[in-house]
Amino acid sequence: MTARFQAPKGTYDLLPPRSALFLAVVQALTTRLARAGYEHVQTPIFEDTALFERGVGESTDVVQKEMYTFTDRGGRSLTLRPEGTAGVMRAVIEHHLLDGALPVKLWYTGPNFRYEQPQSGRYRQHTQVGAEAVGLDDPLLDAELIAVADAGFRDLGLSDYVVKLASLGCGQCRPPYREALTSFLAGLDLDAATRERARLNPLRVLDDKRPEVKAQVAEAPVMLDALCESCAEHFAVVRRALDSFGVHYEIDRFLVRGLDYYTRTTFEFVHNRLGAQASIGGGGRYDGLIAELGGPSASGVGFGLGVDRIMLACEAEGLTPYQDSRVDVFGVGLSAAARERLAEIVDHLRRREMRADLSYGDRGLKGAMRGADRSGAQYALVLGDRDIEAGVAQVKDLQDGTQEQVRIDEVVEYLANRLGAPPRRISGGA
């Protein structure tokens, strides 16, 4: 017996009807970004490995443990992207986007890849919606991105989450804080791997989720107490803007995030019903990243929102922010000739922006009506040979069971009026 193939460990197939939730999440978030002036960008799924080593940070678990890296036939080391920002910054630099109007505001969506231990909400292939505002160090941009994400979540109906907010300082105030933190960590009983992480980037130790480490760093110095005057004012502007936007947030003194490039504002959206994998997105400012990748000295701020976890959050709150029905109208043909005529009518319905389908194949009336019920359609359009001869179609309301005869040449307009479809265009199709 031939072995069956299965999806690789840590991945899953997205199938109807759950795929409708996926599309609803992406649409809600990207619609809000488009309204704020962000434009779509798409970058390759794989990049030079060095881009992520330099951009994400050698001390991160992402680079040390989780990247899917391979050597291609030309001997080049390539990596499936583990996150979106580094690749977008490479594109910004390569195509000289910073030479134009600033800020450069971009959004993107697609899969990322990390070799992690699979569990609910944590996959080896996961999808994000991301956004970047590049070229200006304006704290109002930081607040804008947080507010845009928050509005997208609200559009989906989400409410049981919190925005966590902090600042990680800048090149002026961070070095003395790093020295103080390093001194504090040196006195702790840490394992060898954690000590090495502390050597590369001591802030990463504050992000350790193990209870024994969290207990030891509970009294560690925090960056918010060591901000320079400029960073303190920057953070104050972000908070005042969020207050004016009506975005509720909590200050998290130990918020670090998992990537090395963040400076100043950092934020995370945490859902209260997802257990250990509670983050549904986050981001922050990365004022040194572009220069680190070979570009000019320019500021940037962005976020990555996890579509897979946002879907879980919607399900945890019992939300279905999408149409349950697959179509509005379902055609039921009682003969081959009737099905051909219905196919033409269905085409006209689709041109009028109505969702329409029909029963294909010779399924009989009962089988075709079961298909209509499963489609979730509001109306069944039933047609037989006698109806064609009489020039009428039977329109059945599947919600209340009523049925009307409508002239075939008037049925498209009849259904358009019932469903509130847009008026017929003067040109460009039926």
Q: Is the pLDDT of residue 427 over 50?
A: no
Q: Is residue 222 part of a domain?
A: no
Q: Is residue 428 part of a domain?
A: no
Give the pair of three-digit tokens for residue 269.
């959206």
Paired residues of 303 in beta bridges: 131, 283
Rounded Cα–Cα distance for residues 358 and 153 (Å): 35
Q: Is residue 245 part of a domain?
A: yes
Give the pair of three-digit tokens for residue 188.
């702790």
289 with 377, same domain? Answer: no
91 with 160, same domain? Answer: yes
Report pLDDT digits (tens) over 336-387: 999 999 999 999 999 999 999 999 998 889 999 999 999 999 999 999 999 9
Running DSSP on this structure, what letter comes out for residue 262? -
Tell me if 328 sits within 8 A of 379, measured CB to CB.
yes
240 with 165, same domain? Answer: yes
Say which amino acid occupies 88.
V
Domain span at residue 396?
329-419
Q: Which of 316, 350, 378 is the last residue of a domain?
A: 316
272 with 384, same domain? Answer: no
Tell me, yes or no, if the pTM score tops 0.75: yes
Report pLDDT digits (tens) over 385-413: 999 999 999 999 999 999 999 999 999 99
58 with 95, same domain? Answer: yes
286 with 412, same domain? Answer: no
118 with 147, same domain? Answer: yes
- Listed in sequence order, the residues at least 6 apart from 173 whose beta carbon sits closer than 8 Å to its beta carbon are 223, 226, 227, 228, 231
Residue 429: predicted pLDDT: 44
CATH of the domain at 404: 3.40.50.800
Give the pair of three-digit tokens for residue 98.
């910073």
Among 183-192, 214-223, 403-412, which range has the highest average pLDDT? 403-412
299 with 350, same domain? Answer: no
Q: Is residue 181 part of a domain?
A: no
Residue 10 Rama label (left phi>0; alpha psi -120 to 50; beta): left
Region 282-302 average pLDDT: 94
Q: Is residue 1 part of a domain?
A: no
SS3 277: coil
CATH of the domain at 71: 3.30.930.10
Q: Is residue 218 part of a domain?
A: no
Report pLDDT digits (tens) over 312-335: 999 999 999 998 889 999 999 999
> What domain count does the chain have?
2
415 with 296, same domain? Answer: no
Lowest-confidence pick of 62-66, 90-94, 134-138, 251-255: 62-66
Say which amino acid occupies 139.
P
Q: Is residue 51 part of a domain?
A: yes
Rounded Cα–Cα distance for residues 174 and 229 (Å): 12
169 with 294, same domain? Answer: yes
Percent of the chain with pLDDT over 70: 97
333 with 247, same domain? Answer: no
Cβ-based neighbour number of residue 336 at 10 Å: 10
DSSP 79-120: EE-SSSHHHHHHHHHHTTGGGSSSSEEEEEEEEEE-----BT
Q: How confident is the model at residue 428 (pLDDT cuts 50, 70, 90)?
A: very low
